[in-house]
Amino acid sequence: MTAILEARGLTKAFGGLVAVGDVDFAVEEGGITGIIGPNGAGKSTFFNLISLFYRSTSGTITFRGEDVTRLRTHDMPPRGMARTFQTTHLFAEASVLENVIVGYRHRTRAGLLDALIASPRERREIAEARRRAMEALDFVGLADVAHRPAGLISQEQQKRAAIALGLVGGPRLLLLDEPAAGINPEETDDLGRLIRRIAEAGVTVCLIEHKMKMVMGLCDRIMVLHHGRKIAEGTPDQIRTDDAVITAYLGSDAHAHA
Ligand SMILES: Nc1ncnc2c1ncn2[C@@H]1O[C@H](COP(=O)(O)OP(=O)(O)OP(=O)(O)O)[C@@H](O)[C@H]1O
């Protein structure tokens, strides 16, 4: 197994508070990796670090063999990394398809001049973006609402649209920020199946998620954070029976077990 993403000694301090402290972490290529931990454990901060949304205080991040520590989130899609946001702000009046096209067009090369003169290159890129966006929507099961205004689709469909936005550029690694937040158990199961299909299609997945049942059923490997430190990593079975993990969760509030 090779690591597609590797973090070494990753640390983020907010003033005096060390939200993430000296964490080593690897995402193996091809699987589904989960990051869990009680409330305030540092999951979101860690996720924002590995997706280059936050700059680390210290430590290094390597993606596909390249040191990307000093790069930013927007540098990553061309390198094959995409991330979703917990609340995806879709343009409510634009169609679902148009939203995903915009996501893809961030990657393309036609400049303002091409757009103004509607150059052949611009027209080719629009056609390609449209085809790719439609493919991504089809994959996540939203083809039938592609032309509906994004503001009119359900919360669960918005979650899928966020994933389509992540997939449209053809990433090698997709980072999912609490993909199942705010949806019901049945929808959560469906979303789990979608995430599995993404992995089966060859896209490595790494996610943070509060819903324990989903994480345990879906992930090949899990890392557990507590007070900003890594306290365990391993398979779901190893994590379930790990003393440090059990103690950490017992000491926190119960919603983490939902
Ligand atoms: N921008 C920030 N400025 C200051 N402190 C922050 C900031 N972001 C997070 N923190 C603090 O860092 C710690 C870790 O927060 P973080 O949101 O990463 O945890 P989490 O595991 O994602 O929590 P939750 O499960 O509640 O979403 C917390 O003590 C939080 O208050």
Q: Model confidence over 161-198: pLDDT tens digits?
A: 999 999 999 999 999 999 999 899 999 999 999 999 99
The CB of 179 under 6 Å from ligand 1? The reply is: no
Measured from the CB, is residue 23 less than 6 Å from ligand 1?
A: no
**pLDDT value at residue 90:** 86
Q: How far is the CA of 15 from the centre of ligand 1 (A)?
A: 13
The residue with greater pLDDT, 102 or 227, is 227
Tokens 């689709």, residue? 153
pLDDT digits (tens, 9 = 90+) for 128-145: 889 999 999 999 999 999
**pLDDT score recorded for residue 109:** 57
Side chain identity at 90, as an amino acid letter?
A: L
149-172 burial string, b = 16+ CB within 10 Å, else e?
bbeebeebbbbbbbbbbbbbbebb
- In the chain, the N- to C-terminal Cα span, in Å, equals 32
- Rounded to 10°, the helix 96-105/120-140 angle is 120
Q: How far is the CA of 34 from the centre of ligand 1 (A)?
A: 18
Look at residue 254 and tell me whether its pLDDT is greater than 50: no
For residue 257, pLDDT beyond 70? no
| Predicted confidence (pLDDT) at residue 120 exceeds the cutoff of 90 | no
pLDDT, averaged across the chain: 91
| Residue at token pair 């398979």 | 235
Question: What number does the ligand 1 atom closest to the CA of 14 have?
Answer: 4
CB of residue 20 inside a 6 A radius of ligand 1: no
Single-letter amino acid, residue 172 = R
| pLDDT mean over 82-99 | 88
Mean pLDDT calculated for residue range 131-160? 95
pLDDT in tens, 25-79: 999 999 999 999 999 999 999 999 999 999 999 999 999 999 999 999 989 999 9
Residue 255 clears pLDDT 50, i.e. is over it: no
Q: How far is the CA of 191 from the centre of ligand 1 (A)?
A: 26
Domains of the chain listed by start with CATH number: 1-80+171-258 (3.40.50.300), 88-170 (3.40.50.300)
Q: What is the rounded CA–CA span in Å between residue 103 and residue 115?
A: 16
Q: How far is the CA of 133 from the centre of ligand 1 (A)?
A: 34
User: ipTM of this predicted complex?
Assistant: 0.95
Q: Per-residue pLDDT averaged across 215-238, rounded?
A: 96
Mean pLDDT score, 202-213:
94
| Average of per-residue pLDDT across 219-226 | 97
What are the structure tokens assigned to 94, written together?
């634009």
Side chain identity, residue 228: G
- The ligand 1 atom at the shortest distance from the C-alpha of residue 46 is 18
**Separation of CA 45 and ligand 1 centre (Å):** 6
Task: Name the residue at shortest CA distance from atom 13 of ligand 1.
Answer: 19
Q: What percent of the chain has pLDDT over 90?
A: 78
Q: Report the pLDDT value the prediction gives residue 106, as an integer from 0 to 100.
A: 64
